[in-house]
């Protein structure tokens, strides 16, 4: 009698309606295989490769296998709530869409399809500066959703200034300054394939003097004002010179986050310089090959932040249990890069929804089976680390 009464007093947790199963695509690994069938070699290589020998790309994935979950039982998990708050709004689970460039290579609707999927699902989308759709067009499809703009601060500041004004006007919530790209990582497949955007696609955010969007021309071309080969990397960026400037351009309308932090020292500096949040990232293993896996870097960053700013992480997340482990090691939220591109390539908007939905279902299942009812309950108490044959508590 008492138990029944207690149950009715609980506020019911609104769960997402599950998508009907796609029996060909029940895991992110299957999604990757299905996507590969729809991409040409240049696109597949560009999306999937890591820098140099691919060590960091592999370790981003493998790092999750160093941990196992310590499930607790008899906890009444009938009302699990996987939602969190991001930018002051509730999102269904602690997972958002990382910015990835040139999404029309994956699907003709490109970034618009991703924005629609994010809106329908209710999570935040990160848009790359090097998108094949303008930031305004992407924003038109975001519904009630928040989007953030990933930023490369170019040596010619005026390009960045213009972009920031447009982002503010279009209602972007934050800019994520990518800081792991002072020089461009070595991507051997792209070199071999002589990677370039097909002529019908443009880097849409940077029109040339005649108002035409720039294409990803080879570096020899003089046509475009901003080209990703020449502009993504900016070796001159520094804490002192650029962060203050960026905050002046963005605040108070847009938050300033730093994407690509890996150490406690840089986390301290980020806080000292007044940034609003950090993303532990190594650019999906596409920049410094031999850098730490992001999951290995995360605990140090989270310890240094001491809850003063949010700490997010990306890299190698391919299953709901990976999200659980990242949260347990101190992340407030994770971002996913390649799985979204695979979803896009598989079925456009529907494929991205499928990708998010698979991860959501897996995460919710993991919470229930591990015995936690809310995301804030997920702590390192729920993990053990595997060292050879030994399991150690954290």
Ligand X SMILES: CCCCC(=O)C(=O)O
Ligand Y SMILES: Cc1cc2nc3c(=O)[nH]c(=O)nc-3n(C[C@H](O)[C@H](O)[C@H](O)COP(=O)(O)O)c2cc1C
The binding site for ligand Y (CB under 6 A) comprises 46-47, 60, 98-101, 128, 130, 150, 178, 259, 281, 283-284, 286, 314-317, 336-338
Q: Kindly report the number of other CB atoms within 10 A of residue 253's CB atom.
A: 14
Of 286 and 319, which CB lies nearer to ligand X in the complex structure? 286
**Interacting residue with ligand X among 67, 130, 172, 363 (CB under 6 A):** 130
For residue 228, the minimal CB distance to ligand X (Å) is 4
Of 259 and 380, nearer to ligand Y (C-beta) is 259
Per-residue contact track with ligand X, 145 to 184, x per CB under 6 A?
---------------------------------------x
325 binds, among ligand X, ligand Y, none (CB under 5 to 8 A by kind): none
Site for ligand X in 260-279 (CB under 6 A): none
Which parts of 84-113 interact with ligand X (CB under 6 A)? 101
Count of residues interacting with ligand X (CB under 6 A): 7
Residue 139 or 355 having the CB closest to ligand Y = 355
CB-nearer residue toward ligand X: 72 or 229: 229
Closest separation between CB of residue 391 and ligand Y, Å? 26
**Nearer CB in complex with ligand X: 195/382:** 195
Is 44 part of any known ligand binding site?
no
Nearer residue to ligand X within complex by CB, 286 or 312:
286
Q: Is 213 annotated as a binding residue?
A: no
262 binds, among ligand Y, ligand X, none (CB under 5 to 8 A by kind): none
252 appears as a binding residue in the annotation: no
> What is the phi/psi pair of residue 314, to 5°?
-135, 165
What part of residues 350-379 is at the interface with ligand X (CB under 6 A)? none
What is the smallest separation between the CB atom of 198 and ligand Y, expressed in angstroms? 15
**Under rule CB under 6 A, residue 283 binds ligand X:** yes
The answer to whether 178 is a known ligand-binding residue is yes
SS3 per residue for the chain? CHHHHHHHHCCCCCCCCCCCCCCCCCCHHHHHHHHHHHCCHHHHHHHHCCCCCCHHHHHHHHHHHHEEECCCCCCCCCCCECCEEECCEEECCCEEECCCCCHHHCCCCHHHHHHHHHHHHCCCEEECCCCCCCHHHHHHCCCCCCEEEEECCCCCHHHHHHHHHHHHHCCCCEEEEECCCCCCCCCHHHHHHCCCCCCCCCEEEEECCCCCEECCCCCCCCCCCCCHHHHCCCCCCCHHHHHHHHHHHHCCCCEEEEEEECCHHHHHHHHHCCCCEEEECCHHHCCCCCCCCHHHHHHHHHHHHCCCCCEEEECCCCCHHHHHHHHHCCCCEEEECHHHHHHHHHHHHHHHHHHHHHHHHHHHHHHHHHCCCEHHHCCHHHEEEEECCEEEEC
Q: How far apart are CA 132 and CA 112, in angstroms?
A: 10
Is the omega angle on the peptide bond into residue 252 within 30 degrees of 0, that is, cis? yes
Active site residue 283: yes
Q: How far is the CB of 184 from ligand X (least distance, A)?
A: 6
Residue 336's binding partner among ligand X, ligand Y, none (Cβ under 5 to 8 angstroms by kind) is ligand Y
* From 107, 141, 231, 283, the catalytic residue: 283
Residues forming the annotated binding site? 46, 99-101, 128, 150, 152, 178, 187, 259, 281, 283, 286, 314-318, 337-338
Residues forming the annotated binding site for FMN? 99-101, 128, 150, 178, 259, 281, 314-318, 337-338
């Amino acid at each position: 009698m008492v138990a029944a009464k207690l149950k009715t007093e609980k506020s019911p947790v609104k769960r997402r309606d599950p998508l009907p199963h796609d029996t060909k695509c029940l895991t992110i690994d299957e999604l990757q295989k299905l996507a590969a069938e729809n991409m040409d070699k240049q696109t597949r290589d560009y999306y999937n490769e890591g820098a140099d020998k691919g060590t960091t790309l592999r370790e981003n994935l493998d790092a999750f296998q160093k941990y196992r979950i310590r499930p607790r039982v008899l906890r009444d998990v009938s009302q699990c709530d996987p939602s969190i708050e991001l930018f002051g709004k509730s999102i269904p689970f602690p997972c958002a869409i990382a910015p990835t460039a040139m999404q029309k290579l994956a699907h003709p609707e490109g970034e618009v399809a991703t924005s629609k999927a994010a809106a329908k699902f209710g999570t935040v989308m990160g848009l790359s500066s090097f998108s094949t759709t303008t930031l305004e067009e992407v924003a038109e499809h975001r519904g009630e959703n928040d989007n953030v703009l990933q930023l490369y601060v170019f040596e010619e500041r005026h390009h960045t200034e213009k972009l920031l004004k447009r982002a503010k006007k279009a209602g972007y919530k934050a800019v994520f300054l990518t800081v792991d790209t002072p020089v461009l990582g070595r991507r051997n497949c792209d070199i071999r394939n002589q990677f370039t955007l097909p002529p019908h696609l443009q880097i849409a955010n940077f029109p040339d003097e005649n108002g035409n969007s720039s294409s990803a021309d080879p570096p020899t071309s003089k046509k475009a004002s901003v080209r990703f080969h020449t502009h993504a990397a900016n070796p001159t960026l520094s804490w002192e010179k650029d962060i203050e400037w960026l905050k002046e351009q963005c605040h108070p309308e847009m938050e300033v986050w730093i994407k690509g932090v890996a150490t406690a020292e840089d986390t301290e500096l980020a806080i000292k310089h007044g940034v609003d949040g950090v993303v532990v990232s190594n650019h999906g293993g596409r920049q410094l090959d031999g850098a730490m896996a992001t999951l290995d870097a995360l605990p140090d960053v989270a310890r240094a932040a001491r809850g003063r700013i949010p700490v997010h992480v990306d890299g190698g997340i391919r299953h709901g249990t990976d999200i659980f482990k990242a949260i347990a090691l101190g992340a407030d939220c994770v971002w996913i890069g390649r799985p979204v591109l695979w979803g896009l390539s598989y079925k456009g908007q529907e494929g991205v929804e499928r990708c998010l939905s698979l991860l959501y279902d897996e995460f919710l299942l993991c919470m229930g089976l591990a015995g936690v009812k809310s995301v804030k309950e997920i702590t390192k108490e729920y993990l053990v680390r595997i060292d050879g044959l030994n399991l150690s508590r954290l």
